[in-house]
Amino acid sequence: MARRSGGIKRSSWVTFRRRLFLVRQLLRAPASAEELITRVQSELGENGYPANAAAALKHDLDSLKGEYDCRIVYRRDQGKYVIIDLGELALLDPPHQSLEALALLDASYPAGSGNPMHASIRALLDQVILMLPHRAQSHLQMRRSATRQKRPVGRIDSNVLATVRQAIEEKHELVFRYWGLSDGEAPRRYRVAPYGIFFRNNGHTYLDATLLEVQPAGSEQLLTQVNYRLDRIVPGTVQVLPNPLPSERPQARTFTLRYWLHPEIAQGGDGIPFFPSTRVEYGDDGSALVTATVSNLSVARDVLLRYGDRCRVIEPSELIDLIRETVDAMASLYGSPVTVR
């Protein structure tokens, strides 16, 4: 009677499946021998380990290290196995476009930045990178070094972060002093309604808040939504106030904005999409009459002044007065024109 060979093939398949399962478990987190054995038995059932499970586990780990050059080490201080390198068992080899996208994510969520909000994303990236071939990992490392040299990440004071999070959780107003963008500007006092913390891919962490008060007063529009960089909040000045937040987020006063654009500007569509709820009416000469809704008149002024005499604000009157003040200040700065003889 001929001997059937299916048993050997099945045994090899079961062994490979078990070892691949071990790799997946160690990619998730370090694990002790007992934890690994329990998970294997639970996942594979009758295809799990035999009676002497500890010896079989050691044999599997040794085979992974010998056959695939995996670096799996035992941390005695933790009593757990840790996978350091997958070696030839790299499970991902993405195309160049995907690798560039991964490099962007890797630079956007740097390790050790002191930002707790993206810890899970960073952990996921580390797992994905661990599954790449060595050449791909080296490429990411070079991109990471170049990015960090160009764009340093500011440090967030731990007390600032804890107090901001407390105010958000308790739904209370928050007060702090904040460094502006100008080097010579002293930090000003801000009272805000805090609503959340988020991370941008520029490497900084921000507080999403509604501005309630600022001293000394500046060009900021009260009750507008503002994003404050947490590393610019002055340590030791942040404080949770007893004032509770209203049931609905405060909204800034809105203005109907109407302005005229010169045909050369209007025909290119330049300057039109800056404001929400924008409507455009084109004249026979190619000029445009733009109507929109704005809440921050200072921002509207800064946007529209860039067009000089090729843009004329029709309303609101508050914005017209603001532009006049700016123009008068510029005229005073530059003085009267000098006649050249």
Would you state the pLDDT for residue 164? 93
Would you state the pLDDT for residue 184? 61
Would you state the pLDDT for residue 235? 92
- Is-contact 314 257, C-beta < 8 A? no
pLDDT at residue 148 is higher than 90: no
Least confident of 3-17, 161-175, 188-202, 251-265: 3-17
User: pTM for the full model?
Assistant: 0.41
Structure tokens at 142: 């070079």
Which whole number is the average pLDDT over 248-262?
A: 87
- Is-contact 222 252, C-beta < 8 A? yes
Would you state the pLDDT for residue 1? 44
157 vs 163: CA distance, rounded Å: 10
Would you state the pLDDT for residue 111? 61
Confidence class for position 213, pLDDT limits 50, 70, 90: very high
Would you state the pLDDT for residue 193? 95
Which whole number is the average pLDDT over 231-249?
A: 93
The residue that leads in pLDDT, 261 or 152, is 261
Mean of the per-residue pLDDT values of the chain: 82
Task: Classify residue 182 as exposed, middle or buried by CB count within 10 Å of its CB (0-12, 13-18, 19+).
Answer: exposed
Confidence class for position 3, pLDDT limits 50, 70, 90: very low
pLDDT at residue 142 is higher than 80: no
What percentage of residues in the chain have a pLDDT greater than 90? 28
Confidence class for position 143, pLDDT limits 50, 70, 90: low
Which whole number is the average pLDDT over 14-29?
A: 88
Which whole number is the average pLDDT over 136-148?
A: 66
User: Per residue in 63-116, pLDDT tens?
Assistant: 998 888 889 999 888 899 998 888 888 778 888 777 777 877 776 666 654 455
Which whole number is the average pLDDT over 245-270?
A: 83
Least confident of 116-130, 141-155, 165-179: 141-155
pLDDT at residue 294 is higher than 50: yes
Confidence class for position 2, pLDDT limits 50, 70, 90: very low
Percentages of the chain per state (helix, strand, coil), in multiples of 5:
45, 25, 35
92 vs 97: CA distance, rounded Å: 14
pLDDT at residue 169 is higher than 60: yes
Would you state the pLDDT for residue 153? 47
The residue that leads in pLDDT, 147 or 243, is 243
Would you state the pLDDT for residue 318? 92
pLDDT at residue 120 is higher than 80: no
The residue that leads in pLDDT, 52 or 336, is 52
Nearest CA-CA partner of 114 in 81, 173, 161, 69: 161
Would you state the pLDDT for residue 151? 38
Alpha helices for the chain (secondary structure H): 6-28, 33-44, 53-68, 96-108, 119-130, 134-150, 158-170, 263-266, 297-305, 317-334
User: Per residue in 176-210, pLDDT tens?
Assistant: 999 886 656 789 999 999 998 877 656 678 898 99
